[in-house]
Amino acid sequence: MNRILLLHVFLCFPSVLFAQDIRVREQAVNLLEKANAVSTAVHLPDLERTDTFQVFDNEAGVREGTFTRVVIQGTGRRDETTFGDYHVIEVHTEKTIAKVRSHELAPPEVEDLRRLTPIYHLNFDDQDVIHRIDNREVNARPARCIEFDTITGQKSEANEICVDAANGTLLREKVGDELVENSEFFAFSGALMPGRISYSFAGSPKMEIKQVMASLADATANVLAAPPNAQMWQFCKTYRRPFGESMPQPKPGNGGADSEIVVRGIIARDGRIHDAVVQASERPEFNAEALDVIHQWVFTPALCNGQPNDTEASFTLHFQGR
């Protein structure tokens, strides 16, 4: 399952306790834990999963893509993603990864697809102040909606999570500018999974995903065969992550708003960031500056078995007082 930990575990500090009723918080945590459990299989069989998705863009219009995953438990998996001119096949086995890819880095839309599927899980942490739990209707289903604020430094966001009052599934997750809505749930391996996932950002629809899963009836031997012309990757016996040497932030302003831009890229063997793209932005007018600044960052590269190794990573640029 997805391990998206935007909000972490049930911990409270005294500075948070006075702002909320601890009994309401306990109830909210229980509701969310049940929702996460309802959509987590106890034991997954060999399976095949297919996601078809549409991406909505004011300039590019509607674009379509597909993602498939075949899993043979205890042996490996095969993933294939197609979106525009981006196409990648990855075959994971016990010792190797075979890759055929058209681009080094996935587009931001594909990265969003990966984190939203098969379901987007959340948990609360000490930054989250629970206010109330209301009874409401969401997508024609009776729901219990948790209203809470997430407070990070001087920034506060009004957020909401809604769970199905009958079966406990996650129906709606509004966190910051992101809104994820799940519907058309189906049973698979003792769990309830969303057949439709809608994703919006700052009030604008961004992606619609249709998802199906089925037990794999015929796990033929060639499912995990390396594709022709694939690059072969070995798993690292020893790994050391990259370390920053110089990571300047954008120049601060003189009293405007604070905002963040998340950039993804590859920390290459030369210690520089290559193929950088904006993954999430609160201020699109600063995107070009964010990419310019990130190209100034320098790292000691990652080491795989003692040798320099390319590593994909995300970076946050802080625009203060701008």
Collapsing DSSP to helix, strand or coil, 166 comes out as coil
Please state the domain count of the chain: 2
93 and 187 in a single domain? The answer is yes
Looking at 235, 260, 293, which one is the last position of a domain?
235
CATH code at position 96: 2.50.20
Task: For residue 60, give Cα distances in angstroms to 63, 113, 206, 269, 306.
Answer: 8, 18, 12, 34, 44
Report the alpha-carbon distance of residue 112 to residue 208 in Å, rounded: 11
Do 113 and 107 form a contact (C-beta atoms < 8 A)? Answer: no
Q: Give yes or no for a contact between 2 and 116, defined as CB atoms under 8 angstroms apart.
A: yes
Among 235, 256, 287, the domain-final residue is: 235
Q: Residue 90 belongs to what domain range?
A: 1-235
**Residues 134, 1 share a domain:** yes
Taking the model in full, what pTM does it have?
A: 0.85
Q: What is the DSSP string of 67-91?
A: EEEEEETTTEEEEEEEETTEEEEEE
Return the pLDDT at 19. 60
Closest residue by Cα to residue 161 from 191, 125, 124: 124
- The verdict on 210 and 262 lying in the same domain is no
- Confidence at residue 219, expressed as pLDDT on a 0 to 100 scale: 67
Residues 6+ apart with CB under 8 A from 314: 262, 263, 264, 279
Pairing of strands 302-304, 239-240: antiparallel
Residues 188 and 218 in one domain: yes
Average pLDDT over the chain, rounded to an integer: 90
- CA-atom Rg of the chain in angstroms: 21
Residues 78 and 164 in one domain: yes
pLDDT of the residue at 194:
98
| Domain match, 166 and 315 both | no
Per-residue pLDDT of the chain (322 residues; tens, 9 = 90+): 233 333 333 333 334 444 678 899 999 999 999 999 999 998 999 999 999 999 998 888 899 999 999 999 989 999 999 999 999 999 999 889 999 999 889 999 999 999 999 999 999 998 999 999 999 999 899 999 999 999 887 788 999 999 999 999 999 999 999 999 999 999 999 999 999 999 999 999 999 999 999 998 876 668 889 999 999 988 888 999 999 999 999 999 988 888 999 999 999 999 999 999 999 998 999 999 999 999 999 999 999 999 999 999 999 999 999 9
Of 202, 235, 268, the last residue of a domain is 235
Q: Could you tell me if 215 and 255 lie in one domain?
A: no
Pair 280, 226 in one domain: no
68 and 168 share one domain: yes
Quickly list H helices, the chain.
Answer: 14-17, 22-38, 108-116, 287-294
* Beta bridge partner(s), residue 158: 149
User: Within this chain, do residues 161 and 294 fall inside the same structural domain, yes or no?
Assistant: no
* pLDDT given at position 4: 38
Residue 105 to residues 60, 75, 86, 187, 205, Cα–Cα distance (Å)? 20, 26, 9, 34, 24
- 217 and 288 both lie in a single domain: no
Residues 182 and 312 in one domain: no
